Amino acid sequence: MDARLRGIFPPVPTIFTASGDVDAARTASNVGRWMQTGLSGVLALGSNGEATSLDEAESDRVLAAVREAVPRSRLLIAGTGRESTRGTIDACRRAGAIGADLVLVRPPSYFKNHMTTEALVAHFRQVADASPVPILLYNLPATGVTLTLPVVATLAQHPNVAGMKETSPELERLGQFTAIGGRFQVLSGWAPVIYPAISIGGAGGILAVANVLPDDCVTLYRLASEGRHAEALALQRAITPLARLVSSVHGIAGLKHALDLIGFAGGEPRSPLRPLAEGPRHEIAQAIEAFRQASHAAAN
């Protein structure tokens, strides 16, 4: 197990030019700024990176640019899930060659009705066997495919499976995964439950809101890890409203608008995702200001 696989990782958005092309330079510039905080590393080419909207050449270009911006002392995780086992293995090999430390592999979901326990275990085993770097399982039930405890417990025994990202509010399921123990690490992908997730054994989180509030998310991780429960709960409650707006409520467009508001590169998502309407833009601006005011009051 990589000892660095703990703490908070932002799933970084891929930035596009006004004409809709990948802007690897501005994507990497954002990452350089995040690396001046206490974040443990980054996830590139995840769901918030609009990975499914990029072609393979674009994916490689983004990953190479991000690798340049991430110090070797911190982790670069690359999303490499594809709909075929062969395609996933190829993406893992390319990511490893570019310099990713780990790869995050979502389950295929287009043929979700056929993703049985046997099919999923076989898929991930083949990927883990072939990947040049350790893999993280990516449980994203919103796709219609859920990695169950029998699947995860079986795959956790593979020497090249380092852990998983659990993106749901289901703490009972996350607790079952953390109980696997050993070298298998579980990261939560659901910011509104990151404090209890850490309290029941989670190693940290891959959180969209960490793009917007990196230091605050790192502080929450530290407080929860140290058992400072009252302080952790208060910070969790303060972060949650904005966390919801830039993830489950307004998605990638909301996250990118929040980045624009705090002085990072954000812009618009790639079609078919739509730009954020005026009402949600105002809602996110209000949430950022409310968090700033609450933080200022707490500091004084």
Report the catalytic residues. Answer: 165
Asked whether 288 and 262 are in contact (CB, 8 A), the reply is: yes
With 0-12 / 13-18 / 19 or more C-beta atoms within 10 angstroms meaning exposed / middle / buried, residue 185 is: buried
User: CB under 8 Å, gap of 24 or more: what pairs does 215-218 form?
Assistant: 215/37, 215/38, 216/291, 216/295, 217/8, 217/39, 217/191, 218/7, 218/8, 218/37, 218/38, 218/39
Q: Which two tokens stand for residue 180?
A: 């696997």
Determine the angle formed by the axes of helices 56-69 and 24-34, rounding to 10 degrees.
Answer: 30
Identify residue 12 by its one-letter amino acid code: V
Please state, in angstroms and rounded to a whole number, the distance separating the CA atoms of residues 168 and 191. Answer: 9
Separation CA 134–CA 152 (nearest Å):
15
H-assigned helices in the chain: 24-34, 56-69, 85-98, 117-130, 149-155, 171-178, 194-199, 214-225, 229-244, 251-261, 278-299
